[in-house]
Amino acid sequence: MKRILLILAVLATWQQWDRIEPMLFGKPQQVAGQGEVILYSTSWCGYCAKTREFLGERGIPYTEMDIEKSPEARRAYDALGGRGVPVLKVNGTVIHGYNPQGILAAY
Q: List pLDDT tens digits, range 7-65.
A: 878 777 777 777 777 767 665 554 455 679 999 999 999 999 999 999 999 999 999 99
Tell me the average pLDDT across 93-99.
Answer: 96
Decide the pairing of beta strands 37-41 and 87-90: antiparallel
Asked if residue 37 lies in contact with residue 51, where contact means CB atoms within 8 angstroms, the answer is: no
**Residue-wise over 21-51: b if at least 16 C-beta within 10 A, else e?**
eeeeeeeeeeeeeeeebbbbbeeebeebeeb
Write down the pLDDT at residue 27.
56
Q: How far apart are CA 10 and CA 104, in angstroms?
A: 27
pTM over 0.85: no
The amino acid present at 31, given as its one-letter code, is V
Q: How long a stretch of residues is the chain?
A: 107
17 contacts 25 by C-beta, under 8 angstroms: no
pLDDT at residue 26, rounded to an integer: 64
Residue scoring higher pLDDT (35 or 104): 104
What pLDDT is attached to residue 16?
A: 77
Superfamily the domain 37-106 falls into: Glutaredoxin (3.40.30.10)
For residue 5, the model assigns a pLDDT of 80
Q: Would you kindly state where each structural domain of the chain is located, as residue ranges?
A: 37-106
pLDDT given for residue 11 in this prediction: 75
Flag whether pLDDT at 66 surpasses 80. yes
